[in-house]
Amino acid sequence: MPFNIQAERERRTALAKETRNLLDTSTGDGNTWTPENQAKYDANIADIERIDAAIERHQKVMDLTADNHMRDAGVRGHQAPGDNERPQDRKLFDKWARGGDKALSAEDWTQVNAAMSGNPNVNPEQGGYTVPTTLAAQILEALKDFGGMRRVADVFSTAGGEPMQYPTSDGTSEEGEVVAENQSATDDDVEFGTKGLGVHKYSSKVVTVPWELLQDSTSDIEGFITSRLQTRLGRVTNRHYTTGTGVGQPMGLITAASNGKIGAVSAIPRILYDDLIDLEHSVDTAYRANGKWMFHDDMLKLVRKVKDDTGRPIFVPGYEQGNPGGAPDRLLNRDIEINQHMASPAAGARSIVFGDFSYYKIRDVMAVTLFRFNDSAYIKKGQVGFLAWMRTGGNLIDVGGAVKTFQHGAAA
């Protein structure tokens, strides 16, 4: 029987809802978590994991098949959208990607120059082209799929890349006073500091496309190029937003955050219910209200096995994630963000982060800029090259401890 992704997703949703209901109805009003409850929970979670794995495998096969079609010069790739379905600027991008500068009419160049007018760094004589606004937004939006930092951080754009300083002041230990009649108020000068948010230049590396594919009118060139840009830029920037050193790259969230809990010495990496509670409460209530969890998928495996003091699992599976009416995975009644650039569980590793991630600021400068190369280095291989540049940076702009990490103890 053919694998039906939609049917499997619907089955997963039903299992997740059933599991949530099981957890909700087994607590309160004197209810207890029974061995039967645990057996049903384990069976549902196992089924959900099997469905997730099957969907992922099937999706990878479909993606690989589509990718091979795009790379195979003799096979047509993804069916391109009809001309009437595409925004005008994306049609123009597709036209330029296939034929280069000479493929654009005078009217086309008027639109190109309008798009490029706000970027003094673009050189049309060298093939520079500012990605159309709709496509640039699509690229930056899709970067959210690579690890999660752009989903949870505060992301904004600036017209220029000049240094940006955030003024900071830590008033967490300050409080007022009672003043007796005819007495003077006490001086308590506020100390101010700054935190910088610079930007760094990122390259997608050159994406090469064979002539045959460019000449195939049904191949989705725009989609192929965009996909590669998303993957390459998304991975490197998410890695640096997460664990960047701050030297020649963004200051990563994990690098900037302080420890909220260090686990016990253990022969194997582990996470306990008390560790999670301690980490959650290491963040002040002022930030905890918007708190979320972030960790690697390997840590999720451990978290799914953690139970509270009554023996009830604390992980609640989500369903229809990203859709209206859906619900995300929850841990201690808070959302979970999976980030594959977080450390896997290991001795001494900082593998969990909790807090208000909106205090991590991601700054983008202007639009993504794309260059097309058809010089001799590519012509002799029957290819055209595409290279994207983007300028972005990130830093945790926080002095009050809005985000804290869990660090595993040393190996026994």
* 165 in a structural domain: yes
* 36 in a structural domain: no
Separation between Cα atoms, residue 226 and residue 300, nearest integer Å? 31
pLDDT number for residue 81: 43
Separation between Cα atoms, residue 154 and residue 253, nearest integer Å? 12
* 67 in a structural domain: no
Separation between Cα atoms, residue 77 and residue 69, nearest integer Å? 5
Residue 20, token pair as written in the block: 């949530």
* 402 in a structural domain: yes
pLDDT number for residue 366: 80
Segment 87-135, tens digit of pLDDT? 666 677 777 777 776 777 787 767 666 655 544 444 444 444 556 666 6
pLDDT number for residue 209: 87
* 154 in a structural domain: yes
pLDDT number for residue 260: 96
- The pair phi, psi for residue 271, each rounded to 5°, is -135, 130
As averages over each run of 10 residues, the pLDDT of the chain (412 residues) reads 80 90 74 88 90 83 64 42 53 75 74 55 46 69 80 91 80 77 80 83 92 77 82 94 96 96 92 96 93 95 91 88 73 93 96 97 87 84 89 91 95 82
Separation between Cα atoms, residue 100 and residue 373, nearest integer Å? 9
Q: What is the 3-state secondary structure (H, E, C) of the chain?
A: CCCCHHHHHHHHHHHHHHHHHHHHHCCCCCCCCCHHHHHHHHHHHHHHHHHHHHHHHHHHHHHHHHHHHHHCCCCCCCECCCHHHCCHHHHHHHHHHHHCHHHCCHHHHHHHHHHHCCCCCCCHHHCEEECCHHHHHHHHHHHHHCCCHHHHCEEEEECCCCCCEEEECCCCCCCCCCCCCCCCCCCCCCCCEEEECCCEEEECCCEEEEHHHHHCCCECHHHHHHHHHHHHHHHHHHHHHHHCECCCCCECHHHHCEEEEECCCECCCCCCHHHHHHHHHHCCHHHHCCCEEEECHHHHHHHCCCECCCCCECEECCECCCCCCCECCEECCEEEEECCCCCCCCCCCEEEEEECHHHEEEEEEEEEEEEEECCHHHHCCCEEEEEEEEEEEEEECCCCCCEEEEECCCEC
* 251 in a structural domain: yes
* 186 in a structural domain: no
The number of distinct structural domains making up the chain is 1
* 40 in a structural domain: no
* Domain span including residue 98: 75-169+193-296+339-412
Domain with 247 in it: what CATH number? 3.30.2400.10
Model pTM?
A: 0.79
Contact 388, 201 (CB under 8 A): no
Nearest in space to 398 (alpha carbons), one of 118, 156, 237, 167? 167
Angle at 32 between CA 31 and CA 36, to 5 degrees: 115
